[in-house]
Amino acid sequence: MIAPLRALRRPQGALAGLWLILVICAAILAPLLTPYAYDIQALPNAYQPASAAHWLGTDEFGRDLLTRLIYGARTSLSVSATAISISVLCGMVLGAAAAWFGGWLDRVVTMTVDLTWSFPEILIALILVAIIGPGTTGVMIAIAVAYLAQFTRLTRAQIMTLRGETFIEAARSLGAGNGHILFRHLLPNALAPVLVSAMLATGDAIILEATLGFFGLGAQPPVPSWGGMMSAGSALVFKAPWVIIFPGLAVAITVVAINLYGDALIGELDIRSRLRRDA
Amino acid sequence: MLSWLIKRLLMLVPVFLAVSVVIFSILHFIPGDPIDNLLKVGSSPEARAEMEARYGLDRPLPVQYGLWLGNVVQGDLGTAIVARRPVADLIAQALPHSLRLGGLALLFSTVVGVTLGVVAALNRDRWPDRAIMGGVLVGSTMPSFWLGLILILIFSVSLGWFPVSGARGWNSLVLPVLTIGLGGTALVARITRVSMIEAAGRDFVTLLHAKGLSPLRIQLRHVLRHALIPVVTILALRIGWILGGAVTVEVVFARPGLGTLLIKSLSQHDYPVVQACLLMLAMAVMLGTLLGDILQALMDPRVRAALT
């Protein structure tokens, strides 16, 4: 059986995997799961606490909170996952190129990566969103750039270590060319640690996306995102705390689940030492 | 040691230049014209040109950068376009608030994090370890603004112990420090635990056991000292993250500081203020890295020996 499925057999991996599958299914099936629309306001219903009709209550515009939470999962998960995918792709290309060609390219890449590495992701993302403009596209690009350094660094380190291994020497002495060694041997072997750290980074990206949404920079109303739902902030803490509590819980539980599942996966793949040495 | 220190300080110069170029040029890509905010609707092109000349926005970019950098080095950060006051004044007003908040959060996460990490390592794989590591995982996965709001809900709204927002008196600091500090605590506890466990497996520990020292004494006097080196290095590297956390938390608690200033100036397109805020944060990150290197050299005899 392949490792992602084996990880589900561990108790914490199973619990975490179950939650993640639940959230992803809910996000995909959103219109089938709820009788309400996420964007139709009903002001007389505003600020209702949890009830049989509205399981998690209603928000400041009288919209069903659970409905917005489910639709919000669509935005938050797709933005974070897409951003990290872009980041991983670009990071692998940059990291592999830097490690493979060396020389000035390596120096420029390493220096740029070290420079951005020392900046908090939230600052990089805030500035990029200021340049690109708010909205899901801006946030996606901002998150992708904010995490680029991490994957470039990891890929580069993996390739550098693998390059000295005996099996590479063996392939070379059998007459394998540069491209063959890079694409058939080095990159596939570097893939597992990079993909696992990408999964863990998706958790961080969900938090970053929520923070940008909280600042009102993410998906623009009426489209819900977990962070955007909380952007009314401390004003609502007095009046309708559930509007703040549930989206935050959704973020926290999902990120915990990603971490637990990722941990189980790291255990199954037996790559803990490779991740710690390079990250 | 001294020549190493001088070399290390000189290395900061190119980094500072690179950072300043990035900060300067990035802000000129930001759409939105600060002059638009200043001019009355329907002002003449001449009035606009005059305004641009006053703030030096009509010169070529490299010239603007040179002038800006020259002034920055002399401590002149320009004039805020919206507030119409020297940026240095605004920074001087905001910085102490952020430093106090960040410093206390750093102290909190170090003390609590190291304690939790040690307790977890001493009870490895038993229930205190599991409980602490579980708490640490949950603590590090909550968005900090949400944690702040929940703390407000519990301690300000329900219990009425602390004020909801503002910066009056020490008790307005408690919740913001907790909010930033809990994230850092998780990180410190995790690293302390791992490096304690790693250090406990070293040969010198076996020797100490063979000499008949009490296990607790070995753990606290020898293993912990060994284990603290990576903790200090990573904490110093994380100073930037703590200030980044301060940005969010200051907004949530409506506290004055670098973060609120940055967010406000970003939305007003007030270039000079944004540049100055970013420069301050970048310098904090660089000084943190430097501090980490120096502390590591002071704490680790092997590094010290390699430097002399």
- Checking if the pLDDT of A248 tops 80, the result is yes
- A227 CB neighbours in chain B (<8 A) are 143
Contact of A279 with chain B, judged by CB distance below 8 Å, is answered with: no
Does A206 score more than 90 pLDDT? Answer: yes
A120, A121, A259 member nearest B141 (Cβ): A259
A72 touches chain B (CB under 8 A): no
Q: Which of B137, B164, B281 sits opposite A259 (nearest CB)?
A: B137
Mean pLDDT, rounded, of chain B:
81
Question: What pLDDT is attached to residue A144?
Answer: 94
Mean pLDDT, chain A, integer: 85
CA dist., res. A71 & res. A74, Å (int): 5
Question: Tokens representing B251?
Answer: 């907004």
* Burial state string for A197-227 with b = 16 or more CB within 10 A and e = fewer than 16: bbbbbbbbbbbbbbbbbbbebbbeeebbbbb
pLDDT for res A195: 87
B141, B153, B278: residue with CB nearest A237:
B153
d(CA A106, CA B138): 38
Q: Which residues of B touch A16 (CB under 8 A)?
A: none
How near does any CA of chain B get to the CA of A238, in Å? 7
Q: Read off the pLDDT of each residue in B264-270 and give the average, rounded to a whole number.
A: 80
According to the model, what pLDDT value does residue B237 have? 73
Q: What is the pLDDT of residues B152-168, one digit of tens each?
A: 888 887 787 877 776 67
Angle in degrees, CA A219, A224, A230, rounded to 5: 95
Total length of chain A? 279
DSSP letter string over chain A? --HHHHGGGSHHHHHHHHHHHHHHHHHHTHHHH-SS-SS---GGGTT--S-SSSTT-B-TTS-BHHHHHHHHHHHHHHHHHHHHHHHHHHHHHHHHHHHHH-HHHHHHHHHHHHHHHTS-HHHHHHHHHHHH-SSHHHHHHHHHHHHHHHHHHHHHHHHHHHHTSHHHHHHHHTT--HHHIIIIIIHHHHHHHHHHHHHHHHHHHHHHHHHHHHTT-SSPTTS--TTGGGTTTHHHHHH-HHHHHHHHHHHHHHHHHHHHHHHHHHHHHT-HHHHHHH-
pLDDT at residue A277, as a whole number: 46
- B chain contacts of residue A115, beta-carbon cutoff 8 Å: 15, 18-19, 22
Percent residues over pLDDT 70 in chain A:
96
Segment B70-97 mean pLDDT? 84
Question: Confidence class of residue A278 from pLDDT cuts 50, 70 and 90?
Answer: very low
State whether residue A194 sits within 8 Å of chain B by CB: no
Whether A210 sits inside 8 A of B143 (CB atoms) is yes
> Which of B142, B157, B286 lies nearest to residue A252, judging by beta carbons?
B142
pLDDT of residue B67: 83
Does A255 contact chain B (CB < 8 Å)?
yes
CB–CB contact A251 B146 (8 Å)? yes
Confidence of residue B211 (pLDDT cuts 50, 70, 90): confident
pLDDT of res. A276: 59
Instruction: Return the residue in B136, B146, B281 with the most chain A beta carbons within 10 A, the one to mutate for interface testing.
Output: B146
Residue of chain A whose alpha carbon sits nearest to that of B164: A234
Domain boundaries of chain A, sorted by first residue = 3-27+74-278
Q: At residue A88, does pLDDT exceed 90?
A: yes
**Cβ-defined contact of A238 to B150 (cutoff 8 Å):** no
User: Could you tell me the two tokens for A277?
Assistant: 């040495």
Residue A126 has pLDDT above 90, yes or no: no
**Residue A118 vs residue B101, higher pLDDT:** B101
Q: What is the pLDDT of residue A95?
A: 92
pLDDT at A258 (0 to 100): 92
ipTM: 0.81
Task: Decide which of B31 and A181 is more confident.
Answer: A181
Class of the domain covering A3-27+74-278:
mainly alpha
Taking the Cβ of residue A36 and every Cβ of chain B, the question of whether any pair is shorter than 8 Å is answered with no
Q: Which of A62-76, A203-217, B195-209 has the lowest mean pLDDT?
A: B195-209
